[in-house]
Amino acid sequence: MATNRSQFYLDIASGPFYGFNRPGADISQGVIQNWWRQGMTGSAQAHHEGIKAFSETDFTDDLRAIDVPTLIMHGDDDQIVPIANSAEMAITLVKNARLKVYPGLSHGMCTVNADTANADLLDFIES
């Protein structure tokens, strides 16, 4: 990233973030370019500090404090934040939570699988 930040943002979006590196993926150049645009307009230091903060902070007490109905949504092919390290742990800590696992979906599922994610989110809100 230090030597070619622009290429880094293209590579992450073209591959693991949206699952575009998987066989049969429906690759969207528009989605890739939009992710690249967002990455390039942000501060490299801010991105680093954000990732550092969420990857090194223990949110156990925060998750235990949530006491409203909660929907945790996660793709089981998330190559960025594996489900075992996140959603499967969170569901044990959040009271009144439901875990919705999406077989084969990526970290970027709310973009590339918006129809599915939004329908389930609306169902949850209306329930």
CA dist., res. 36 & res. 63, Å (int):
31
Instruction: Per-residue pLDDT tens, the chain, 127 aa: give them.
Output: 778 999 999 999 999 999 999 999 999 999 999 999 999 999 999 999 999 998 999 999 999 999 999 999 999 999 999 999 999 999 999 999 999 999 999 999 999 999 999 999 999 999 9
Asked if residues 87 and 114 have their Cβ atoms less than 8 Å apart, the reply is no
Q: Which pTM was predicted?
A: 0.90
